[in-house]
Amino acid sequence: MDIKAEQKYLLISPKKVRVVVEMIKKLRPTPAVESLSLVGKSAAEPLRKVILSAIANAKVKGISEDALYFKEIQIGEGPRLKRGIAVSRGQWHPIKKRMSHIKVILETKEEKKEIKEVEKEEKVEKKGVKKQA
């Protein structure tokens, strides 16, 4: 079962958020939240909140924290704010303020085992039907 949480229009560059995601993507969600509180990057706090939100969504569905793993952490690019700064001789230099969309998808490993067992049983049943005919 997939559990999702999303944060849109975060006023931090996606490039800066991806650096933090690389640090935690191989961890499980609970240790990842604990380690993000120690990371000295501005993107760590919003990412921590999204992961906590996904864990809370799993608890509502009746899934324990111990059974959760990261399936996917997507960092997408949102819209850009186009700003500028005045420079000499009446000119203007553009500044692009980039936004991020963070999407965290958690999954349970137990479900995969159950699905594989069901698929094996279905294959065995299909083979048995073919042999009888």
Domain boundaries, the chain: 2-132
- Sign, Cα dihedral of 114, 116, 117, 122: positive
Helices and strands: H and E segment counts in the chain: 4, 3
The low-confidence residues of the chain, meaning pLDDT below 70, are 110-118, 120, 124, 126-133
Q: Would you give the distance in Å from CA 68 to the centre of its chain?
A: 13
86's CB contacts (< 8 A; 6+ apart) are 92
Q: pLDDT at position 131, please?
A: 53
- E strands present in 88-126: 91-108
Q: pLDDT at position 122, please?
A: 72
Distance CA 66, CA 70 (A): 12
Query: For 2-132, which CATH superfamily applies?
Result: Ribosomal protein L22/L17 (3.90.470.10)
Is residue 100 a contact partner of residue 17, using CB atoms and an 8 Å limit? yes
Q: pLDDT at position 88, please?
A: 96
Query: Structure pTM?
Result: 0.78
End-to-end CA distance of the chain: 37
CA dihedral 42, 45, 51, 53 (to 10 degrees): -130
45's CB contacts (< 8 A; 6+ apart) are 36
Distance CA 94, CA 22 (A): 30
